[in-house]
Amino acid sequence: MFSQSITRIPPQSMAQGLTTAELGAPDHARALKQHADYCAALAEAGLEVDTLSPLAEYPDSVFVEDPAVMLPGKNAAILARPGAGSRTGEAEAIRPALEKYGEVFPIEGPGTLDGGDVLLIRDRFFVGITSRTNQQGFEQFRAIVNRFGYSATPVPLRAGLHLKTDINLVAEDTVLSSADMAARPEFADYRVITVPGDEAYAANCLLVNETLLVPAGFPKTLALMQGLGSKIRIVDTSEYRKMDGGLTCLSLRF
């Protein structure tokens, strides 16, 4: 069970962040409302929400999942090293917030690692090797988590931003995945639900204790998720989608 989360208010500069979405510029006022609703959803799911101040100099800093990886129940966190140059400094900016909750283990250059590439299922970490996370980042990550009793499996990606753009835990031993990822041998031990091809964005659902957060506007995925037995909470992430972000990226849970 998770009891705590960390989020960060989106800065006015968020439209200057990185994106491939071609969905237009995000509306900051609407993004703030959606962020407040997202935090409310985490609180409804039983989490304390530690909301950090906006950072104007880092337009992507609302996506707090990327500069850190929490080790739930271990009072420890990994300080990641985001692979996009405009985001690398987000790690040092979030370090003091992590230190409030336990020991912090940094990934060192030239290793890079984005938290969006890290998926935890029970005591097994899957780590996407992507344009943001390199092999050295993965090796450092594995050495740290092995000391805490976790295993770590690399998952090289051919395309896409992050591992969790494609695959996420939605129920016990059950993942929601893109068709591409569903066929991968790394996930053969799990029940895999394939996200409908025209709703690929909705592969980024977020399981928080007994509640499953589902992005607004994806009715086929919603119907699939309603069969899993969790309480469903719909959250509108339209302004974050414009910046390639989704439900998991907006918080750290532990």
Q: Which residues bind ligand CIR (CB under 6 A)?
A: 17-19, 60, 63, 65-66, 84, 87, 116, 161-162, 164-165, 243-245, 248-249
* Nearer of residues 75 and 114 to ligand CIR, judged by Cβ: 114
Please confirm, yes or no, whether 249 is among the known catalytic residues. Answer: yes
* Nearer of residues 12 and 146 to ligand CIR, judged by Cβ: 12
Number of other residues whose CB lies within 10 A of the CB of residue 226: 12
* Nearer of residues 156 and 229 to ligand CIR, judged by Cβ: 156
Least distance between ligand CIR and beta carbon 51 (Å)? 18
Please confirm, yes or no, whether 162 is among the known catalytic residues. Answer: yes
Distance CA 44, CA 2 (A): 12
Number of other residues whose CB lies within 10 A of the CB of residue 77: 26
Q: Characterize the bridge pairing of strands 167-171 and 252-253.
A: unpaired
Beta bridge partners of 103: 76
Distance CA 18, CA 35 (A): 19
Which residue lies nearest ligand CIR, judged by its C-beta?
A: 116
Least distance between ligand CIR and beta carbon 239 (Å)? 12
Q: Which segments of the chain does DSSP mark as H helices, in order?
A: 28-44, 90-99, 135-147, 163-166, 179-182, 219-226, 238-241
Least distance between ligand CIR and beta carbon 162 (Å)? 4
Least distance between ligand CIR and beta carbon 243 (Å)? 4
* Nearer of residues 4 and 16 to ligand CIR, judged by Cβ: 16
Catalytic residue among 35, 39, 205, 249: 249
What is the separation, in whole angstroms, between the first and last Cα of the chain? 8
Catalytic positions: 162, 249
